[in-house]
Chains A and B, each alone.
Chain A
Amino acid sequence: MANQNTVKALVRRGLDEKTATKLADEGYTLSDVKGASLKDLTDVIGKEKAGEVSKKLGGKKAGKKKKSPKKKKEVEIDIPEKLPPLSTIGKKLQKLCEKDGYNLPYTVIRDAANKIEEENIPQKDYSLMMELINDRFENRLVDSKESVGIVSAQSIGEPGTQMTMKTFHYAGVAEVNVTQGLPRMIEVVDARKVPSTPMMEVHLKNEYKKNRDKAKELAFELEETHLIDMADVEIDLVNMMAIIKPYMKKVKSDNIDLDKVVERLKKTRRVTGNVTREGKEIHITLGEDNQSYATLHTTVEEAKNAKIKGLDGVKRAIIRDTGEECIIYTEGSNLGGALKIDLVDIEKTTSNSPKEICDVLGIEAARNSVIKEAMDTLNEQGLDVDIRHIMLVADMMTNEGSVKAIGRHGISGKKTSVLARAAFEITSTHLLRAAIVGEIDRLDGVTENIIVGQPITQGTGAIEVKYRPVKTAEANTNE
């Protein structure tokens, strides 16, 4: 599970891929490698390589021993079953299907089982029922050669004209603005890195889910707070120091530990000088040797922007009590950070950005996220679109292991056919490039065949009828 970015960065600096992967696997980042001592490196990749690595990357002289890079914590998570197990009746039905050779999907069997329970159908009727279901089910299947792609694209695109353009709407909570309607749909399909209104829905672990205090605690932990949000910062030019006066109200309500603030400030880069706590105030005094106004100024500015607590990017966290449980909605998103917090229910917590989900949870989760976001947007607008269409779009977007956009930079740009690419966008570049590598267009797709003027290869165009005339005696005599 090496961080691909690190590997790439290391390779670019002249390491071979194997070594780079090894290092990244151990949890090294680029700066870790740069700072690591020869010995640390030797432990991981052997002496020979270590020497080479430190020669190539040893920006900082060895000896300044850095904390050894954090080993990746092995986290064990129970992977939840994708589908809840069938009831006893369901299992019986499943057996029946196996016996009779019916190939029915899980949902159908589950629905049948539920209906049986609901209506108290005697067991002797099960087989008749499954037979009827199977007969109908077979009629519901898609035809082979059906051009499902176009149907899906039309089914999503056509209602686009009926969507509103109004960007903001309150989804669930009045306090959080969320992009809705057509702009949101376009955003999902575009696979933007960061959506225009990133949002998280953070659930608490089951045992705390009704605990408002815990929810509050979590919300504070999530919300990003800078020094300037919680205190006045004054400059004392006479003593060459900065005086930080926290708003006591805020400190109390948000449960901020001032000592921790001091710690934070000490660690903050470019905050030079001595940070001390003086009762309810915090002072930053410049050292004797460094008494320039410029330094004081930068120190104050940096201190103001110092992050005191919270997750990067989470601007606001709002608690909503549904009665069932407390859910925290955040403006701004940092899923990776949120999942590390103990109070958080890892399974339920989500973000509204498929790309982020892809980075944190992987591609399968990202696919589900695309489906969810697209479905939610359509449903919110009261538009009825079958989920299969959206699944197809999501599968197409995530097929290659990363979330790809629908459009020039994503899927359309990756098409194998030169003509299809040229017909979509940036015509000339594609043609010029194709010439110098001697690209071949095999005319498998739709656009290409339309361009050369022959039937497309889907639907009725995918099959051919061959006719071999039978020579009859009559025909022979005629000739």
Chain B
Amino acid sequence: MSTAAVAGKRTSTLQGASLPKWSPYAIVGGSIVLGVAIGLAAGLDSKVQWGLIAGLLYVFGTYGIAARVEGSRQAKDRVATSLVWVAFVIAVVPLVSLIWVTISRGVKVLDVYFLTHSMGVVADSQPGGGAYAAIIGSLEQVGLATLIGAPIGILTAVYLVEYGRGRLAKSVTFFVDVMTGIPSIVAGLFILSIMLIFNMEPFGFAGSLALAILMMPVVVRSTEEMLKLVPNELREASLALGVPKWRTILKVVLPTSIGGITTGVMLAVARIAGETAPVLLLVFGNPFINNNPFEGAQSSLPLFIYQQYANSAGANAAYDRAWAASLTLIAFVMILNLVARGIARWKAPKTGR
């Protein structure tokens, strides 16, 4: 009560009492110190528990102090702010942990030997061997999937933006949206059900087909957004010069948005490069090098990670290989992401007049 009165006098009578600017930091510091002290005193060995105690102290401390000085509405506001910050920290923790563990454990066996040799006859529990066959398999399957999925996706987007009116376009839009949500394993089962009819053995291209199905809706979505950004004046100018519509699309619309389309395709490639489930069903895995995606089982990086984890019965050598392959895969995906974003920024279509 008295603090409120004092603070009110110091500033202005029109403004309610408020905590000084540094108070949140002070409360954070205080609750961390208290949390550690309580943790040490009670002999809790888990750092997570220390963190939880500090977090609870912070939230309740903020509410208590703010409610006393500023009133309950301000106190609620401060609690909401701190909860939002806590949520942010919670989301960052697993990401940091995942990146840190993958890098620190992945570099153990990740070297030129690992990237250029395959498992071959090396037992899963033994050290040695590498992911060469898996990398080859991944590149071939993802490459073929992109060759199928990207053109179909881009053409569909062109149809939806440049031509699409009426029921067909509406239903294509809806089913593209729904298709985005198909679980990857269902795409795998679809190709598998066809293979079962024709009694086919697993091979790389079957995996590519499933990956292409997963890729198409993603490409359609992103290309559509990019085509919509192309200013209508450009189309009208070209059409007014007597250029036929298809040449307008090929020479004006697509070149204008090519940066964004490339970005979308690369992000889609990054997404399917990490898919394991359809590859597990359709490509089966192979410790030996198989360069032919149209015949015989192949391997792929995500599948290699899974099989090293699952078939190794806890052998450390296999876990090391799994982490090294994870690091390779994450590096590949992240580089694709970064390059895609770079292209997007570099080639962003100039809208505005």
Same assembly: no
